[in-house]
Amino acid sequence: MIYRRKEVVKKIGLVVKSDNRAMEKADEFEEWLIKKDINVIRKDITSHANSFFKKKLFAPSDLFCVFVLGGDGTFLTAARWISNQNIPIIGVKFGEVGFLAELSENNLFSAAENIINENFITQPRMRLRVQVIRNYLEYFSEAVLNDIVINKGALARLADIKTYIDDYYLTTYRADGLIVSTPTGSTAYSLAAGGPVIHPSVSGILMTPICPFTLTNRPLIVPDSVSIRIETSKKSSDIMLTIDGQEGVEIDREDKIIIKKWPYPINMITIPNQLYYNVLKAKLRWSGSRV
Which residues form the catalytic set? 72
Angle in degrees, 0-180, between the axes of helices 108-116 and 20-35, rounded to the nearest 10: 40
C-alpha pair distances (Å), 36 with each of 9, 42, 67, 224, 273: 10, 16, 16, 42, 27
Q: Distance (Å, rounded) from C-alpha 73 to C-alpha 184? A: 13
C-alpha pair distances (Å), 258 with each of 16, 81, 167, 194, 289: 32, 22, 11, 24, 40
Burial class (CB in 10 A: 0-12, 13-18, 19+), 241: buried
C-alpha pair distances (Å), 273 with each of 18, 136, 190, 281: 30, 49, 28, 15
Query: Largest Cα–Cα distance in the chain?
Result: 62
DSSP code, position 265: E
Q: Give 102-111's long-range contacts (Cβ < 8 A, gap of 24+).
A: 102/268, 102/269, 102/270, 102/271, 102/274, 103/271, 105/21, 105/25, 105/69, 108/25, 108/29, 108/67, 109/29, 109/32, 111/271
Burial class (CB in 10 A: 0-12, 13-18, 19+), 136: exposed
Alpha helices in 36-85 (DSSP H): 49-54, 72-82
Encoded amino acid at 191, one letter: L
